[in-house]
Structure 1
């Protein structure tokens, strides 16, 4: 881990380590996905190259990760339609966490979505994308 990394409450340690290894050398903020509807931490996830949407396994509430909603339309999907995230074991239910790679000024430069399979515990980065605008503070709450 980087000395300036911040790992939020509820992020599984193995997923945090995996996400840290999957991003560049910049400091990161890693936050766990938690359903605002029921507090659930297990999700079905749709992903593509420009974003992700999660659906709570407990209550069915849906939420976009970071700025995904801005690019979640058929025009943007022309070459990259979203698909369900899946684990090699066949699992489709995941704990989710997001690593926000930070520039020197603290702005978000990269978003990486890490998923940990509930069935076998395997972690992986299922989507990541660059942020090339500012300000970006609002993204840190969109996990």
Structure 2
């Protein structure tokens, strides 16, 4: 879908939205659309070791937990507070309908009026065909939450 498509034009944008550098336009638009009219902060996943931006992702959408694996160095990192719930998780590898399992990965943090995180939404964009989707989301019901922004 092109940048001028009706889908993007229908997306409500909040004045306090923030999109991190390096998030593709397609993924940012998609994640913004699921924000329930709350401001969102969209943060890209970047490998801390080599700066890689392509990952395979393990998700458990029941527990609300995800772990990414860098396609370049195989380094692993939990997303947001997933490590706390991983022991009880039953993760599976995310896959695109085209068969690819490598993704651009970003997280949309839906924010409350006070700026604290209320929802974590994991969005993936297939590196092969560009398809985007939400692979897991979970509610945050504790505070403070600022540490979550650095855990993508």
**TM-score normalised by length of structure 1:** 0.95
Counterpart Cα distance in 2 of 1:47 and 1:93:
13
- Could you say which residue in structure 2 is the equivalent of 1:35? 47
- Could you say which residue in structure 1 is the equivalent of 2:149? 140
SS at match of 2:125: strand
1:63-88 Cα distance to aligned partner (Å, 9 max, x none): 00000000001xx23xxx11000000
Compute the displacement of 1:2 (Å). 1.5
- Could you say which residue in structure 2 is the equivalent of 1:18? 30
Higher RCO, Cα 8 Å, sep 6+: 1
Extract structure 1 runs of 4+ deviating beyond 4 A.
none
**TM-score normalised by length of structure 2:** 0.89
1:6-51 Cα distance to aligned partner (Å, 9 max, x none): 0010000110000011221110000110000110000000001211
- Could you say which residue in structure 2 is the equivalent of 1:46? 58
- Could you say which residue in structure 2 is the equivalent of 1:130? 139
Number of aligned residues: 138
Counterpart Cα distance in 2 of 1:138 and 1:4:
19
Q: Cα RMSD between the aligned structures?
A: 0.7
Query: 132-141 or 17-26, which moves further after superposition?
Result: 17-26
How does 1:1-143 map onto structure 2 within 5 Å? 1-49=13-61, 50-73=64-87, 76-77=88-89, 81-143=90-152
Counterpart Cα distance in 2 of 1:126 and 1:30:
15
